[in-house]
């Protein structure tokens, strides 16, 4: 399944903010070399940065996929680095749904799956409609409880 398309707006805004900060830094640094052109440099870098942010956001959305299989949760994402994650149900400790301010504005949630393992082994599924997020949370919880008897390796 893919995240809700509205998550692309969130990702684009995040990337645009980063683009604006980096454009300010680069334009400020280069304005010492090219006197009096800081604002023009900023606009050029900001425009190029936002075009790249839009392209990256599009491909980031296209690369995101998740699926609840018989005995595991499968996630696949990444534009430059492709990440494929398999979370066996027996390794799931608990599942949360989260909504920050922007998520609430866009009407989406994130489902966070906490696993038994080292730091960084938790996974998050962004851009899930709140009703589906609750259903996914319940489904993963039930599958995790049902798989307690099996080996996690």
We report the CATH number of the domain holding residue 114 as 2.30.29
Q: Are residues 142 and 73 in the same domain?
A: yes
Total structural domains within the chain: 2
Q: Quick one: pLDDT at residue 152?
A: 52
Please give the residue range of the domain that contains residue 36: 7-62
The answer, yes or no, to whether residue 139 has pLDDT greater than 70, is: yes
- Looking at the structure, do residues 70 and 129 belong to the same domain, yes or no? yes
Same domain, 20 and 34: yes
| Domain shared by 69 and 58, yes or no | no
Q: pTM score, two decimals?
A: 0.84
DSSP for 50-115, written as a single string: HHHHHHHHHHHHHH-EEEE-SSEEEEEE-SSS-EEEEEEGGGEEEEEEE--HHHHHHT-EEEEEEE
Residue-wise pLDDT for 46-79, tens only, equals 999 999 999 999 999 999 999 999 999 999 999 9
Reported as a pLDDT band with limits 50, 70 and 90, residue 28 is confident
* Stretch 36-55: mean pLDDT: 90
């Amino acid at each position: 399944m893919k995240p809700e398309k509205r998550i692309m707006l969130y990702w684009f805004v995040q990337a645009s903010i980063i683009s604006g900060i980096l454009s300010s830094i680069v334009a400020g640094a280069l304005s010492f070399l090219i006197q009096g052109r800081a604002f023009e440099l900023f606009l050029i870098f900001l425009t190029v940065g936002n075009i790249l942010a839009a392209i990256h956001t599009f491909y980031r959305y296209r690369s995101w996929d998740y699926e609840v299989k018989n005995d595991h949760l499968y996630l696949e994402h990444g534009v430059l680095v492709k990440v494929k994650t398999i979370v066996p149900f027996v390794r799931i400790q608990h599942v949360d749904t989260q909504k920050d301010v922007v998520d609430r504005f866009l009407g989406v949630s994130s489902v966070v799956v906490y696993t038994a393992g080292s730091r960084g082994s938790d996974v998050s599924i962004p851009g899930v409609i709140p009703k589906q997020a609750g259903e996914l949370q319940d489904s993963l919880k039930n599958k995790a409880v049902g798989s307690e008897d099996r080996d996690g390796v």
